[in-house]
Amino acid sequence: MDRVHPAYGIAVSFIIDAEPVFAYTGWNLVHSILKHTSLAPSDIHVQCTPEVADRVLLRFKGLGCQTHRLARFGDGRYCNKLAQWENLRDQNIDHVVFLDTDMICIGDFTAFLPPYAVAGKVVDLPNPELALLDHLFERAGFADRPPTIQVEASEGTTYQGNCNGGFYSVPSQFADTLFDAWRKRAEQLLADIEPLRAVGKQMHVDQIAFCMALHETALPFVNLPSNVNYYLHFRGPHSQFDPERPLALIHYHNSSLNVLGLLEPYGAVEPYEVAGAQLANELIREHFDTQLFWDLRYNRFPERGSGVGSRGKNLAYKRDLLIAEGVETAASVLDVGCGDLEVVGSLNLQNYVGIDQSQQSLGVARTKRPDWQFLRAPGDVAPADFVICFEVLIHQRSLGEYSQLVEYVAQRTRRRLIISGYDAQGDHVAANHMIYFHEPLRLSLEATRRFSSILQIGGHSDVVIYRCDVDC
């Protein structure tokens, strides 16, 4: 089969929705595409639903990706892939690959693309069952049916063209024809949703409509091996995998993300599957984005929140320390990296302002103390008598970011700063993709020339805590 020539213009498109996991996984997907294919950032189209914050869109634009606002399609839930083509019609593109965001490259998937046919990988499981699929074709007015083929992960069968929605490959010459029919069939299914809703399969409208559109238009179609859409969120056979070719694109589902933002897929059993997940995690660590991660963490793992430093004994220790250092008698308090407010939420604080880079954490904090003020970091806030900065410095990726934060808290301290960080680099720092050591915290604080007194007053886990006072 002919493969896509390197000069052939390929674009990749995927959707970022409002839930933070989409931005986090999309970030990793972009970096994996750039690492394992010859595509440029401008070949990647990141399509954001209306609810996605501008700051998220701008992060992808900063990578060089093309970004779009997406008008939701139909019911706004199951068929948004259909809406992407509207933003791409006028682009100078020969071929578009539409991906789900919970995918990550570990090889070059573009080597699998047929330039003269629509392509996809058959569904993992018969969703819906063939009898219902046949019934839906009948209700839609089809006189004949596509040929049947085996699904990926069982002995069940389905119609050719019933593809897993994580990967659609569409030459632009066929796109208008395909999408017009796809849209019509999706609208038809949404208007007659009860057969699918009755068995809890309404989320498959998009892929069923795609199958119907392929059959209606009789466009050339190639069923791709699962090398380009390899499920790992459950255990099962991979009947469509080509062992003679590399595994290129993992489809892991968001349930595979652990509390550290790494992949822990239940379905990774075979040595090459485990190696693929490890390769993906290496990339996630390399391009780890603190802001996107903490939005994910507070949204999906609220019980863990900002981590062990604000839970259990550490929480009680820091709360008692703050009280002993006079936080409840201070005229004003600025909490830099307030997180989910677990440490200070129950304290009696005056003129409190909490700032954090995670919009999700601020939402949690506001529900706990609606009487306090919260702003997204790095807000231009007024100095306060008492400034808190617990376990924020250790998450700054670069020395520049670290130094800026030290200066930020120093300049906003009128009387007292309580701050934690590292005075030395331990072995654990190099092994953890979420934490960083740049220089001893005491030296950083002294370099600001802001404080008349810098005293270590405690520590917990692997961080030290300093009290820094300003002469008034």
pLDDT of residue 75 exceeding 80: no
By the 8 A CB rule, do 292 and 55 touch? Answer: no
Question: Do 262 and 331 fall within a single domain?
Answer: no
In a domain, 300, yes or no: no
Domain that holds residue 197: 10-287
The pTM assigned to this predicted structure is 0.90
* DSSP letter assigned to residue 455: E
Question: Do 246 and 383 fall within a single domain?
Answer: no
Write down the mean pLDDT value for the chain. Answer: 93
Q: How confident is the model at residue 308 (pLDDT cuts 50, 70, 90)?
A: low
By the 8 A CB rule, do 245 and 227 touch? Answer: yes
In a domain, 293, yes or no: no
Report the distance separating Cα 141 and Cα 149, nearest Å. Answer: 22
CATH number at residue 331: 3.40.50.150
In a domain, 5, yes or no: no
By the 8 A CB rule, do 445 and 457 touch? Answer: no
Report the distance separating Cα 52 and Cα 48, nearest Å. Answer: 6
pLDDT of residue 440 exceeding 50: yes
Report the distance separating Cα 276 and Cα 10, nearest Å. Answer: 24
Model pLDDT, residue 78:
64
Q: How many domains is the chain partitioned into structurally?
A: 2
By the 8 A CB rule, do 230 and 122 touch? Answer: no
pLDDT of residue 50 exceeding 50: yes
Question: Do 394 and 277 fall within a single domain?
Answer: no
In a domain, 296, yes or no: no
Model pLDDT, residue 400:
95
Q: How confident is the model at residue 1 (pLDDT cuts 50, 70, 90)?
A: very low
**Percent of the chain's residues with pLDDT above 70:** 95
Q: How confident is the model at residue 390 (pLDDT cuts 50, 70, 90)?
A: very high
In a domain, 295, yes or no: no
CATH number at residue 245: 3.90.550.10
Q: How confident is the model at residue 445 (pLDDT cuts 50, 70, 90)?
A: very high
End residue of a domain, out of 243, 258, 287: 287
The SS3 assignment for 171 reads strand
Q: How confident is the model at residue 184 (pLDDT cuts 50, 70, 90)?
A: very high
Question: Do 42 and 186 fall within a single domain?
Answer: yes
